[in-house]
Amino acid sequence: MAKIKLYLDTRNSKRGEESPLKLAIRNKNTSSFIGLGISLLPSQWDVRTEKVISHPRRASYNAYISQRRLDAQEVILDLMRSGKIDSMSASDIKKHIEKMLSPDEEDEQKGTFVDSFLKFISEKSNPRTKEVYEYTISRIHKFCPDADSLNFEDVTKEWLTSFENFLAQTSPSKNARNIHLRNIRAVFNYGIDNELTTAYPFRKFKIRGVPTAKRSLTVDQLRTLFGYPVEPFQEQYLDMFKLIFFLIGINTVDLFRLKPDNLQNGRLTYIRAKTGRMYDIKVEPEAMEIINKYRGKNYLINVLDRYDNYKDYAKRLNDNLKHIGEVKRCGLGGKKVITPIFPNLTTYYARHTWATLAYSLDIPKETISSALGHEIGSRITSIYINFDQKKVDEANRKLIDYVLYDK
């Protein structure tokens, strides 16, 4: 008899990464799988109950999963009644289920706003992108308890204004709130493109940003930071900041997921998680010294050999960077009081500072853009430009010499 189970497919996922949830179909010693468009960490999936747990979208996910499972079981029952199932493989059953789950009829095109939001997310391949959109849905559910019944037409200019006011209670940053609003706008554009709605409240509701605060250090500030006599436990955090700077502002997720074979012949090559763009960086001796100091067993840097999730360490890293500074003991108990030298310091400063200092050294904008992985000129023209990597190598070496040796 054909059976259906829910299966979190961790076979191709690295530790700390999400894995796709699938319907597993078994019949006559054959198996086949149907993706559900949902990715979860192992800690967010209860194998025994086959339920999503510890996830901000667990209620909606479980409702969606339950419905998809019932739909699949209905197909199997129909095949059993017709007597066809005895001669079918799991793959054959899968085709019937997929046809039922994705019919061509216009009715399938209709759905609530959250249904469409979830489908929009399921079509994204980047885990980080999915995570950002899922967080927006979690905020919508906090604001609107009956969000699952919202239609596109319910999300009006007035609704968006109220939602933004709600966000302001816990997120004072206008630009941070705008991320959620832009995510909602993207789903509306998706809805219009797929003829799910003709409503579009963003004709009247405008998303206006504010200038981002400067997140770079002067060369003197950077030299002060690099040479600061940190406490022993802070040494690794300062070293990570230096390494990020020496590697042209590499993002922490990319740095900590590097494998030993990403480093070949003195060059570091990797695909950036955020953009999918290839990076190729010459590893200067100063960077290699830090890499050798923190080499891991399974990873180039040992962070994911010690932590299940890079985010845990990244948060610890940023928290400790903010507390680098003068330490005094006060009172009878000798309470530690810290006066940070740069109280807002985060790893983002390494990337921004690299770009700012490079510009101050008259390094061409095209070279800076190429080093940071940005487009050179327009998106079209950049496809045809084979930018000389040697220029980026020379720029990075020039910058390191300037900061460390005042050359």
Give the C-alpha separation, 301 to 323, whole Å. Answer: 23
Q: Is the pLDDT confidence value at 374 over 70?
A: no
Give the C-alpha separation, 168 to 194, whole Å. Answer: 32
335: β partners: 330
- Residues 274-300 have pLDDT tens digits of 777 888 999 999 999 999 999 999 999
pLDDT of residue 108: 43
pLDDT of residue 1: 63
Q: How many other CB atoms are there within 10 angstroms of residue 1's CB atom? A: 9
- Extract long-range pairs of 34-39: CB within 8 Å, 24+ residues apart: 34/72, 34/94, 34/97, 34/98, 34/101, 36/64, 36/65, 36/68, 36/122, 37/118, 37/119, 37/121, 37/122, 37/123, 38/64, 38/65, 38/122, 39/127, 39/130
Structure tokens at 385: 């430009």
Q: Is the pLDDT confidence value at 37 over 50?
A: yes
Mean pLDDT of 370-388: 56
Give the C-alpha separation, 63 to 65, whole Å. Answer: 6
pLDDT of residue 219: 95
Shortest CA distance to 151 belongs to which of 98, 188, 125, 185?
Answer: 188
Count of alpha carbons within 13 Å of 312, Cβ hemisphere only? 9
Tally DSSP H helices, then E strands, for the chain.
Answer: 16, 10
pLDDT of residue 15: 77
- Residues 126-135 have pLDDT tens digits of 777 888 899 9
